[in-house]
Amino acid sequence: MEAILTLKGIIGVLVVFSLLITFHELGHLIVALLLKMPVQEFSLGFGKAIYQRKIRDLLFSIRIFPLGGYVKLLGESPEEADDPNSFYNQPYWKRFLVILAGPLANYLFAFLIIAVTMSFLTLEPGIRVYNVYENSPAAKAGIKPGDIILSVNGKRISSGKELIKLVSDKAGKPVTLEIKRGNQVKVIQAIPKYNEDLKRAILGVQLDLAITRGKFNPIRGIRFAWEYVKEVTYRYTVFLLHIRSNYSELKGSLRGPIGIGQLIYKFTLERSIYEIAIFTAFLNIAIGYINLLPFPALDGGRALFLIIAFLWEKGLRRKWDPSKEEVLHFIGFSLLLILIAIVTFLDISRILNSH
């Protein structure tokens, strides 16, 4: 039985990671093909190829390390810019659309997952705790991921905004929380702490929705998907704008490939198929959002440099030198690898400490 559960968890990790990568790269691929840009390879994974098939001029590859992928367009590097059909010789608007298509595909996939899933579900009373930050008031009070907060000081809540409103002016003051954990309802007390940047008191939790099965309603699903995508994007933006004050929370919640894989593994074993679907959508939004950030080597950084190059050529009437841009992308990519290495170390340390 234990072996079957382990296999189920591993399959869950592979499926979710594959969906994250596949739809991101499909976004790049489909838009490039629609714009008639020469594509040389569509690869899922990195390293040695374990499967390859060529259809017309496009090589499809599956590689041994499933933690990424790429779409290789003709002439992506400045050294190959001599070819008139190369990526660097395409109009700016075409390149811009191809670059942004990856993260936007993650957003679209997340929207579709949630719209379909929530067409079969309805919301339960309360709000579910998705994550509890280390050393936060919530952690000290004994709140755990999966708990459903039903009320604050006797007032029923149904959204994160309602929870924030009831807690925001309670810094240093005990608040009574009614918590549902499994089939049991408990009453606990927590003492919110004041956050300087947010200018309000916080519990130190990430929130999700409490859901249950309901009558099929696709309109409800579409509306909910739109609101969910907006809300998660808003949360990420607020978090980044106040990242200095959120550093301790960021350190406690930041996950690399191993940490994300561990979360997916747990979700696969402990949660329903609906919750796994919504978590997959959540991860797609995260991947899409991160890739839209204007940082070198990310899609958002490449899109920003395209805008700069366009303005440079239009304003100064001088040709933009892409080789300098590539140096910055290389530095950005190196910094990302260092960050991934640090986060992976923290992931492994977290796993070892839990045992």
27: which 2 tokens? Answer: 């976004």
**Residue 35, helix vs strand vs coil:** coil
Q: pLDDT value at position 250? A: 60
Q: pLDDT value at position 102? A: 95
80 is a catalytic site residue:
no
Residue with tokens 């260092």, as numbered in its chain: 338
Q: pLDDT value at position 257? A: 77
Name, in order, each residue with C-beta under 8 angstroms of 299's C-beta and a sequence gap of 6 or more. Answer: 99, 100, 102, 103, 291, 292
- C-alpha distances out from residue 120 to 90, 110, 123, Å: 44, 16, 11
Q: Is the pTM of this model over 0.75?
A: yes
332: which 2 tokens? Answer: 């950005």
Spatial separation of the C-alpha atoms in residues 87 and 322, rounded to whole Å: 12
Spatial separation of the C-alpha atoms in residues 25 and 152, rounded to whole Å: 44
Q: pLDDT value at position 290? A: 92
What CATH number does domain 123-213 carry, 3.30.365.10, 2.30.42.10, 1.20.120.1200, 3.30.43.10? 2.30.42.10
**Residue 308, helix vs strand vs coil:** helix
Spatial separation of the C-alpha atoms in residues 65 and 53, rounded to whole Å: 18
Q: pLDDT value at position 304? A: 92
Contact between residue 28 and residue 101 where contact means Cβ atoms under 8 Å apart: yes
**Residues 2, 25, 124, 227: which is the catalytic one?**
25
Q: Which amino acid is at 225?
A: A
60: which 2 tokens? Answer: 């499809």
152-174 CB burial, b ≥16 within 10 A, e <16: beeeebeebebbbebbbebeeee
281: which 2 tokens? Answer: 């959508």
Q: pLDDT value at position 252? A: 59
264: which 2 tokens? Answer: 């997916």
Residue ranges per structural domain of the chain: 123-213
Q: pLDDT value at position 183? A: 84
Spell out the per-residue pLDDT of the chain, length 355, in tens.
666 667 777 788 888 888 889 999 999 999 999 999 999 999 988 889 999 999 888 999 998 887 788 899 887 766 666 777 888 888 999 999 999 999 999 999 999 999 999 999 877 788 888 788 888 899 999 998 888 999 999 999 887 888 888 998 998 999 999 999 888 899 999 999 998 767 888 898 888 777 777 788 999 999 999 999 998 999 888 878 776 666 555 655 667 778 788 878 887 877 778 888 888 999 999 999 999 999 888 999 999 989 988 888 887 777 777 777 788 888 888 888 888 788 778 777 776 776 5
